[in-house]
Amino acid sequence: MANMSLNKVAMPEQDPNIRNKNFEEVALGYGIEQAIEEATRCLQCKHKPCVGGCPVNVPIPEFIKQVAEGNLEEAYQIITSENSLPAICGRVCPQESQCEGVCVRGIKGEAVGIGRLERFVADYHIQNVETVVPEIQKNGIKVAVVGAGPAGLSCAGDLAKRGYDVTIFEALHDLGGVLIYGIPEFRLPKKLVATEVDNIAKMGVTINKNVVVGRSITIEELFEEDYKAVFVGSGAGLPKFLGIEGENLNGVYSANEFLTRVNLMKAYNQDQSPTPIRVGDNVAVVGGGNVAMDAARTALRLGAKEVSIVYRRSEDELPARREEVHHAKEEGVVFRLLNNPIKVIGNEAGWVTGMECVKMELGEPDASGRRSPIEMPNSNYILDVNTVIMAIGQSPNPLIRQTTPGLDVR
């Protein structure tokens, strides 16, 4: 008999007023009793809509059934038959718009906590079981994977399981891509990323760090070295800016640079980081996506007294995950919605001292289906800030496109 509670079993979290001063993980994860209780909310639907909602088709009801019966290693083996990165995906996949978004339990009440269960199963395995890779029959076909971010790692893991001879080429000195330079430690501990990368390496995948494909070696040269296919998962590392006056002042960062310096170059350790970071008392983060929430919550943890999200639309249009917005609000981030920056202001020494903004209102829907923001006349005001972080999106690094003749990029 299924547990018909309308709500997910709550996941313990650090108190907001404690966690906004440290970089430890916010969500603490289920214990075994909580996981089994949540697993019994699954109805074991015959048509499995949740599997269709999962980009990698994890056999969700099958693994949840094993959790409900307390067979945690069986659950892990079922998940990893389709997903090589369960501890990561259980934490940072947008489940509410994927598997949980189509879960039958979500029609009346909350969806089954599929992500929370995946995370629990992966963590239990990491803490209690040594990963043994089964003998894989090699097929002798070489494949190159460009980029050791989530796409490249998943591709490498799936191909290695199927017997391909896979080599990953990574531009940075560490593996994980956006998982290590972009997503903060308090959402995704880096040692978990290292563990799941190790599991992929154990499958016989060769890893070459500090190789910039398109510069150190071209795609054409990879084919000349007998790679039969090249998977390009080089990520979106080129930040966008608004193009407003003052964006080149000291104290204006792209979210990409800000988060990379804090996460990868460990700027949260101000005394020891080779690239320390200064945030001042008042920080504005421009944008409303997950990256903006990560940057704002990171700035708080670096000691800023007031951190504002400045977003030109309303709360309904915020592209960030609801959970991230909720966590940011709990931690004290101020949401200045329907506000748009038009100029960054600096002093004679070239440092940011403020940001001129204008108030907005929503008009008719635009091509994206969202109501367009319209400037309200004479609503300009100056926001007192020392640091501005632009988190308005990123595009792919153009290097591979520029150095690969005939590459069709859409």
List residues binding ligand SF4 (CB under 6 A): 42-45, 48-50, 60-61, 103-105, 112, 114
In angstroms, give the least distance from the CB of 48 to ligand SF4.
Answer: 6
Q: Residue 172 carries which side chain, given as an amino acid letter?
A: L
In angstroms, give the least distance from the CB of 106 to ligand SF4.
Answer: 7
Cα separation, 161 vs 78, whole angstroms:
14
Nearer to ligand SF4, 95 or 298 (CB): 95
In angstroms, give the least distance from the CB of 129 to ligand SF4.
Answer: 24
Cα separation, 46 vs 44, whole angstroms:
6
Nearer to ligand SF4, 49 or 393 (CB): 49
In angstroms, give the least distance from the CB of 111 to ligand SF4.
Answer: 6
Q: Residue 39 carries which side chain, given as an amino acid letter?
A: A
Nearer to ligand SF4, 26 or 79 (CB): 79
Nearer to ligand SF4, 94 or 163 (CB): 94
Nearer to ligand SF4, 78 or 309 (CB): 78
**β-pairing verdict for 381-383 and 352-365:** antiparallel
In angstroms, give the least distance from the CB of 52 to ligand SF4.
Answer: 9
Nearer to ligand SF4, 52 or 350 (CB): 52
Q: Are 277 and 302 in contact (CB under 8 A)?
A: yes
3-state secondary structure 368-398: CCCEEEEECCCCCEEECCCEEEECCCEECCC
**β-pairing verdict for 238-239 and 381-383:** unpaired
Phi-psi region of 95 (alpha: psi -120 to 50; beta: other; left: phi over 0): alpha
Nearer to ligand SF4, 40 or 167 (CB): 40
- Per-position b or e across 63-101, b if 16+ CB within 10 A of its CB: bbbbbbeeebebbbebbbebbbbbbbbbbbbbbbebbbe
Q: Are 188 and 26 in contact (CB under 8 A)?
A: no
Q: Are 114 and 50 in contact (CB under 8 A)?
A: yes
Nearer to ligand SF4, 110 or 174 (CB): 110
Q: Are 182 and 256 in contact (CB under 8 A)?
A: yes
Nearer to ligand SF4, 8 or 312 (CB): 8
Cα separation, 182 vs 393, whole angstroms:
13
In angstroms, give the least distance from the CB of 125 to ligand SF4.
Answer: 20
In angstroms, give the least distance from the CB of 364 to ligand SF4.
Answer: 36
Nearer to ligand SF4, 65 or 336 (CB): 65
In angstroms, give the least distance from the CB of 290 to ligand SF4.
Answer: 24
Nearer to ligand SF4, 114 or 180 (CB): 114
Q: Locate 262 and state its tokens.
A: 């804090």
Q: Are 61 and 11 in contact (CB under 8 A)?
A: no
Tokens 């940001």 -> residue = 355
User: DSSP class of residue 351?
Assistant: B
3-state secondary structure (DSSP) of residue 334: strand
In angstroms, give the least distance from the CB of 104 to ligand SF4.
Answer: 4
In 82-217, which residue ranges form alpha helices assigned H by DSSP? 86-92, 114-128, 150-161, 178-181, 190-202
In angstroms, give the least distance from the CB of 27 to ligand SF4.
Answer: 20
Q: Residue 278 carries which side chain, given as an amino acid letter?
A: R
The arrangement of strands across the sheet holding 206-208 comes to 206-208, 165-169, 142-146, 229-232
In angstroms, give the least distance from the CB of 26 to ligand SF4.
Answer: 24
